[in-house]
Structure 1
Amino acid sequence: MVEVGDDSGCGLDIAFAVIGGKWKPLILYHLRAGPKRFGELKRAIGSVSEKVLIQQLRELAAAGVLIRRDYQQVPPRVDYTITDFGITLAEALMPLCIWGVEHRARIEATAAV
Structure 2
Amino acid sequence: MENWTNWTNWTNAKLCDVANLALGAILFLSPWLFKFDDGAVSTNAHIAGLVIAVLAIAALAAFAVWEEWLNLVVGLWTLVSPWVLGFHGTSAMTVHVAIGAAVAILAAIELWMMSQHPPRLTTHS
TM-score by length of 2: 0.27
- Relative to total residues, which structure has the larger strand share, 1 or 2? 1
TM-score by length of 1: 0.29
